[in-house]
Structure formats: structure tokens, C-alpha cells
Amino acid sequence: MESNGETESSLSRSNGGEDRRVGLIFDERMCNHSAPAEEDHPECPDRIRVIWNLLNSSGLAKRCIILKARDVEDNHLALVHTKKHISLIKSISSGNSDSKRSRIAAKFNSIYFSEGSTEAASLAAGSVIEAAEKVAKGELDSAFAIVRPPGHHAEEGEPMGFCLYNNVAIATSYLLNERRDLGINKILIVDWDVHHGNGTQKMFYKDPRVLFFSVHRYDSGTFYPSGHDGSYIMTGEEPGAGHNINVPWEHGRCGDADYLAVWDNILIPVAREFNPNMIIISAGFDAAIGDPLGGCCISPHGYSIMLDKLMEFAGGKIVMALEGGYNLNSIATSARACVDVLLLGKAPNVVSEAYPFASTWLVIQEVRRELSTYWPVLGGELPEKMIRKTIQIGILSSDSEDETEDIALAVPEEVRTIEDVIQPLSNLKIDLDSQVGQEATMKPSWRSEHSKVDVWYATYGSNMKVPRFRCYIEGGQIEGMMRPCVGSMDKSEPKGIIWKTFPHRLFFARERTATWGPGGVAFLRPNSNVQEKTYLCLYKITLEQFNDVLLQENCLNLETSHPLFDSAALQTIQTEKSFSVELVQGGWYHNVVYLGNEGDIPVLTMTCSLSNVDDFISGKFPINPPCKEYANTLITGLVEGKQLSEVEASAYIQEASSKPL
Ligand SMILES: [Zn+2]
């Protein structure tokens, strides 16, 4: 073993002094796939360069066996992709102008193309095959393919989510179908990218030879790639039943303790039963601390423990393939930690004092219950003794007993249903060197302050139907909604309901919502126009409740230490008219608009920004009529509110859906 390049973390270990045989693949040509120059795209070529550079500068690369990237063969692509898909990706580089490439890319969900895309995609897929084949043959113990474009979102017939070919699925299918001679007949795919591996899931959904495990942010189906494929109820079909395991986080900020709890209580016991003879990791590092898209906080050490726990299986035959990860520093240090583990065969021994979120235990319990028919090892409730023991440590090391109640308050209602588990779990503390831990334990003092201020919340969409609006206060769902609301922390009913018309334009845009499914949702044009007349139903609620509705409308968790729209903002908005809520990145209703006063109480609504309106006009985001259930909810709201007859209400919605902006 060379000592010069050793990282600090490996010094405390002894493994007999021998590095394991670890393959590494990197090829600069995979950097030729890039977004148009004017676009500052997170899936950028430097992602793989920074990993490669750090592995070299830290001395780890020279302890590995460097493999040559190779192109993928068409017949191997065809194991998981359609002919049409393959010819599309192959045609991108040849004879297309940049503008034509952009037009083609625009047809897909989160895809860009450049002249180098065809080659980069081919090398990414071919390189994962190369790594997997060498490990399967026993020429290597393990390997890390530092590839891009990533693959796990790519579906059978379409590229999506920055992914062109599904690299991991192709390599998996290649070993299982084309190289039966190598004896690999059970592959565990661990997808720890922060996003659900929708493409990979579908490709092996009925295949019992593949155990697909994905832990990802789900946020009630609103987190990319959105929809319900990432739900824990998606467990596989036919012979593959039970061979698809999703662990869906309901919020961000999950870190080492949350992931390791999932490993110990779901993945590892099932892996032991499944007994794979190869593990392929869809190794995205976008759940790492500091990632701009993921919002989770796994540390490099967390990744090394997650990887280490997998090394007891398949004789340590592990192939890692890069997927996402958009903070250059985080992905490089996380990748280095993983290569270090692959070389040494074990992770550094670091004591962690972190504990999972209470909601993590609930997700784990749900997944275990759902899968216990297929995996009896997951049967029975979580060993409470173990949990309580963990809690006692949490209490002992907690510096304030007052935290207990505050964290319990911060747990959404749906999560508080199993009181006897949650009460003790609410003592858990998070111990990470980010503000995340503080956020989870901070007393949300803004709530009491903002519960004393009243506002009129003026609604123009489905909230015009009172029972639907009450879901945002009390929790629950009404007919037509695809998912329930968690409700506000303060579930007191509105102090008043009145109707008014305002000179703003109502319109419908976007493609689908998590709540109503396909179809546009209602927006109010932020600037007023005397030619327009829109009916709004006003609810008198507290500023605290208004914040909770705003959080829910923007698919955010209520566990926040700061209000999105505070009393200072309420002061400002009365002169500025509108207030953009900067915290709601990517939220659709991030613009709070002041509509004047009713009595001496300000009237507020929430809608899109003016720049979003420009995007709807230019066609960047689609204008779309509402789906039937959603439209009916608006219509019945107007009728029950005695504003319009059913015929008039239908015509009103119809006009708003069809009149050009
Ligand atoms: Zn991702």
C-alpha cells in the first residue's frame, strides 16, 4: 500500500495493508455533452472533472486500476430501450444545427442536447458495462464509473431528467441476459440519488432477478420526477412482486442518520435475504450536504458507511455509476469517500451522534409493512426497545428539555398519528454541522406572533369551494383530489367568509398538479386590469395560517423555523402591492399579491410572478385548461357561494381556460 496518498480517514484502519482491486473510468469526451452556453445548467461537464481531479490529487486514483471508456453497442442499448429511442440519441450529433437540437430537446422533460451528446451518452452507457463486466468476471473487486450524462430517469422510449440512456439498467440487463456465462443472476440495484429512479424501476418492475431499491425525496409526489411511481406502494409486479422497494422521503433535510436507519431496517435485511451476486449503485450525490437541487444532507462519511454496509454482500462485487449531484465540492468529496471505502474494504470508524427525524421512522414502518408479505424479515413492528434506547441517548445528550414539545409541534399531523411511537421519537436530535439540525430543533416562535394578526386570504381556484379550502386548515381531501393536505398547525376555522370581484385576469396553466393530476391550475394575473372581473372567495384567517397555506400550495413542509410571509412583509406589501416569496424556489404560488383592504384587514392572494406570466405567454410553460374534477370543484365553489348559476359558472371557467393571455 502506498502511504503518501492516503487520506486521513484511512490511517486509523488496518486491512492487512492491501488495497482491493478497484476500477475507475473517466473519459474527457463525456464532457462534450453540454447545455447551450447561455444556460447555467446544473448537469455540467465539470461534475465529472472535479471527481476525477480530486481522486487524482488525493492519490486515490493511482491506487485504482484505470479502465478505458468504451462505446455501447446498439444491441445492448436495445435490451432496455426502444429502437426509436436509440436512433433519436444516435441522430443528435449528426447533421443537426444547435437550434434544431434545442427544438428536439424541448419535446422532452428536462433534456438538453449538444453536438457531443451522442458520443457522451454512448461512452457513459458503455463504460458502466465495462466496469460491470470486469467486476462480474472477477478481474476487479469493484469499480466506479465516473460518467455523464446520468441514466436513471431515462425510460424505455424517452430521455428525461438530464438522462439519455439508462446506464445502470443497460449494464444490469447486459450481465443478466448477454453474459449468463459469468454466473450473475441476481443483481441488487441501490439508487441513492435524491431523485426516484423511475426509468430503472420500470425496466425491471416484473423481473425477479433484479431487486431495485430507491431512497428518494417524494414530497407527496411533487418532487422530481413527480407523480406516484416513487411511492412505497410500488413494489413490483408478477414474478417481480416485492422486488421493487421505494423509500420516499416526505421532506428534505434527511441526512446520515435517516439514511442509515433505512439501511439498517430495510435495505440490509432484505439484501441478506435476496443474497445478490452483484450490486450496482446508481450513485447520485445530490442528497449530499450543499446540493442545490436535493435539499438533503448526507455527509461524505455518511456515504462511506452506506457503501460499507453493502460490502458484506456479493463478495463485495460493487459497481458504482454516477447519476446526479450538482454541488461540485460535495460530489467530489462524496465520491472520494466512496472510492476510499472500495479500496480499503471498509469505512473509517467515526462515531456519529446524529439521530433520524421522527418522520423517518414512520416512512420506514410504512415500507416495512408494505413489503413484509414478500420479505418476512421486515415483519413485525420496529423493535421499540432499540428505538427507545436510541432516544435515551438523545435525551441525555440534548441540552434542553424544552425542545421536546417544540419538535413534536413541528411534526405534521399525519405523522403524529402513532402517538406512542412519536412521543418518544420527538426527542431525537439531529447533529450535523449545518443549519439543518438547528432548524429542526428551533422553537418556531413566529407562530405565536403571527397567530395574532388577521388577513383575508382571497382565493380564485379550487379554494373557492369551502370544503376544499378547509383541507388546507384541517387536513384531508375531498373528492377529485389525488392526495390529502396535511392542514395547518392551527386548525381553527376561518373567522369569516365573503365574496368579492377583482379586476384581475383568471387563467389556467401548467401541465399537471400533484393534487388534481393532468391539466392546468388556476392563476391570477398579478397586475390588475379594469377590463377583467374575477370572482374571489375571501377567508379571514391568521397570518400564521396564511403561511401554512402558502407552504402547502408550494408543496413545502410545515416544519419551518421562519414564515415565508412575515409581518414585515405584510407591512411592505401594502405599498409595493406584490411580494415575491424568495424562499419558495420553483414554487408556483410564490407571489403574494395585495388586493387592498376589507375593513381594516389586508386582502392577500397568492399567484405566479409577472415573469411566469411572460413564460406562459411565450410558451415556455404551457397554458392548459383544467381537468374535469378540478374545474367542477371551481364551478361548485361558485355555485355554493351563490355567485353564479351552474351554467354561468361553467361558462366563466370555460372562458378563463380558453381566452388567450
Ligand atoms: Zn438526482
Distance CA 210, CA 145 (A): 20
Cis peptide before 225 (omega within 30 of 0): yes
Place of cell 449545518: 434
Domain 447-658 class?
alpha beta
Predicted confidence at residue 5, as pLDDT, reads 36
CB 363 within 8 A of CB 248: yes
CA–centroid distance, 572 to ligand 1, in Å, is 37
**Residues with CB in 5 Å of ion ligand 1:** 193, 195, 284, 286, 324
Q: 604: CA distance to ligand 1 center in Å?
A: 36
Residue whose entry in the numeric block shows the C-alpha cell 431523485: 195
Single-letter amino acid, residue 390? T
- Cβ atoms 259, 294 nearer than 8 A: no
Q: How far is the CA of 258 from the centre of ligand 1 (A)?
A: 18
Among residues 216, 183, 181, which one has the least CA distance to residue 201? 216
Locate all alpha helices (DSSP H) within 383-528, ordered by sequence.
384-397, 403-410, 419-425, 435-441, 446-450, 466-474
Exposed/middle/buried for 517, CB within 10 Å: 0-12, 13-18, 19+? middle
What confidence score (pLDDT) does residue 354 get?
Answer: 67
What is the C-alpha to C-alpha distance for residues 380 and 397, in angstroms, rounded to an integer? Answer: 30
DSSP label at residue 627: P
Ligand 1 center from residue 193 Cα (angstroms): 5
Contacts 24+ apart (CB under 8 A), 375-384: 375/242, 375/269, 375/270, 375/273, 377/269, 377/270, 377/272, 377/273, 378/266, 378/269, 378/270, 382/265, 382/421, 384/421
Could you tell me if 451 and 567 are in contact, meaning their C-beta atoms sit under 8 angstroms apart? no
Q: How many CA atoms lie within 13 A of 642 on its CB side?
A: 2
Number of other CB atoms surrounding residue 619 within 10 Å:
9
Amino acid 487 reads: G
What pLDDT was estimated at residue 590? 86
Note the pLDDT of residue 348.
82
Say if residues 452 and 542 touch (Cβ distance below 8 Å). yes
CA of 149 to the centre of ligand 1 (A): 12
69 Ramachandran zone, left/alpha/beta (phi>0; psi -120 to 50): beta
Which amino acid is present at 17? G
Q: For residue 609, count CB atoms less than 10 angstroms from its CB and return exposed for 0-12, middle for 13-18, buried for 19 or more.
A: middle
Q: How far is the CA of 66 from the centre of ligand 1 (A)?
A: 26
Q: Ligand 1 centroid to 33 CA: how many Å?
A: 18
Write b or e for each residue in 574-597: b if 16 or more Cβ atoms lie within 10 A of its Cβ, otherwise e: eeeebbbbebbeebbbbbbbbbee
φ and ψ at residue 36, rounded to 5 degrees: -50, 145
In the chain, CATH 3.40.800.20 covers 8-185+277-344
Query: 336 CA to middle of ligand 1, Å?
Result: 19
Compute the distance between CA of residue 47 and CA of residue 116 in angstroms, rounded to an integer.
16
Q: Specify the DSSP element, H or E, that contains 596.
A: strand 591-598
- Backbone torsions φ then ψ of 278, nearest 5 degrees: -165, 145
Q: What's the gap in Å between 278 CA and the centre of ligand 1?
A: 23
Question: Catalytic positions, please?
Answer: 153
Helix 466-474, helix 543-553: angle, nearest 10: 100
Sign of the CA dihedral with 632 first, then 637, 640, and 644 last:
negative
SS (H, E, C) 53-84: HHHHHCCCHHHCEEECCCCCCHHHHCCCCCHH
Rounded to the nearest whole angstrom, what is the distance from the C-alpha of residue 197 to the centroid of ligand 1? 8
The residue with cell 377583482 is 502
CA distance 200 to 281: 12
CATH superfamily of the domain spanning 8-185+277-344: Histone deacetylase domain (3.40.800.20)
Q: Is the dihedral of CA 156, 159, 160, 165 positive or negative?
A: positive
Cα of 36 from ligand 1 centre, angstroms:
21
d(CA 616, CA 172): 41
Q: In the chain, where does the domain assigned CATH 3.10.490.10 lie?
A: 447-658
Residue 53 CA to chain centroid, in angstroms? 28
- 3-state class of 572 per DSSP? helix
Q: Say how many residues make up the chain.
A: 661
Query: In b/e form, how buried is each residue of 126-159, taking b as 16+ CB within 10 angstroms?
Result: bbbbbbbbbbbeeebbbbbbbbbbbbbbbbeebb
> What spacing in Å lies between the alpha carbon of 467 and ligand 1's midpoint?
37
pLDDT of residue 336: 97
Distance CA 522, CA 534 (A): 12
CA distance linking residue 538 with residue 540, whole number of Å? 7
Ranges under pLDDT 70 in the chain? 1-17, 351-354, 385-444, 582-586
Spatial contact of 511 and 504, defined as CB atoms under 8 Å apart: no
Quickly tell me which residue has 452556453 as its cell. Answer: 37
- Residue 28 CB partners (closer than 8 Å, separation 6+): 49
What are the cell numbers at 649? 359558472
Q: Which three cell numbers stand for residue 46?
A: 465539470
For residue 292, report the distance from its CA to the centre of ligand 1, in Å: 11
Query: Can you tell me the distance from the alpha carbon of 155 to that of 573, in angstroms, rounded to the nearest whole number?
Result: 45
Using the mean position of ligand 1's atoms as its centre, give its distance from the Cα of residue 625 in Å. 30
Helix (H) or strand (E) holding 552: helix 543-553
Q: Which three cell numbers stand for residue 637?
A: 365553489
Q: What is the DSSP string of 11-22?
A: TT--STT----E
